[in-house]
Each structure stands twice: as structure tokens, then as C-alpha cells.
Amino acid sequence: MGLKDLEEAYKIELEVNPSPWKYETFLSSFEVGHKGLICMHDSKIIGFLIFSPVNPEAHILSISVRTQMQSKGIGTLLLQSMLKQCKAMNYKKIFLEVRVSNTQAINFYEKFGFSKDAIRDNYYKDNSEDALLMSLPI
């Protein structure tokens, strides 16, 4: 994902995230060195993944797929691509937080071998929902 992709990717963020980042946060994420991957179909971005690489670990910050394209393997493709990149860069572990109510996402990450490590109380500011901290050694 490059700067030219941010506006289109941000539309997906607004569409699927119950507590979307502000556009300024989205932009500054890349200015501080976060990395992003996009998945395209018919010359349009249909999904993205943003992660923070801090060797020997990486932290998944956001993964989103257009609503009408969900359950078609796009999230899997994005996550597999990120994992391959992290392995090539010799990273050792991937972390993420997910809403405790988001069972679909939790099941998705568990399919890849992520384990449930801890609960972060009141993590989400929009409704004070807890986050499940998950990790995957690679």
C-alpha cells in the first residue's frame, strides 16, 4: 500500500470498522513507518492490512475487506502475504488485538494458529469493549 492508495483504502475502513480511525491517523500511520498491503480486483482496492514492523515482532493494526467481498478468501490472502513477508524478514512473532465480541475474526485468526494470550480491559474507546490479545510465533 502506498500513499496513493490511502483514500480508497480509507473508504473500506469507514465501511467495515465499527470504530474507524480518523483519516489523519490513517495517514500518519504510514509516516511513522507502518506497512500496508492491499488486495485489488478490477483495478479497485477490495481489502487491506496494516501492520507495524518492529523486528523481531510485528503488530497487525487493521485488516479490512469490503463488505460485499468478505468470505471470499481476501482476508486469508492478505494475512498469508503478511506472514510470508515477516518470515522473510526473520520476524519471530505476530501480535494483534480483536474485539472480544468479534467471534468471526477470532475464529479467522485461530485458523492460522493464533493463540489467545490475554484480555485488554476497556481497549476500544467507542464502547469500552475489551480486546483479546492474540499472537502467533512464526
CATH of the domain at 24: 3.40.630.30
Give pTM, 2 decimals. Answer: 0.92
pLDDT tens for 91-109 read 999 999 999 999 999 999 9
pLDDT tens for 16-74 read 988 888 999 989 998 999 999 999 999 999 999 999 999 899 999 999 999 999 999 99
Provide the domain count of the chain.
1
Cβ–Cβ < 8 Å for 106, 98: yes
Q: Report how far Cα 128 is from the mean position of its chain's Cα atoms.
A: 20
Place of cell 485461530: 110
Please tell me the distance from the alpha carbon of residue 83 to that of residue 67, in angstroms, as a whole number: 23
Boundaries of domain holding 49: 3-137
Q: In what order do the strands lie in the sheet with 35-41?
A: 35-41, 44-54, 57-65, 93-99, 131-137, 115-120
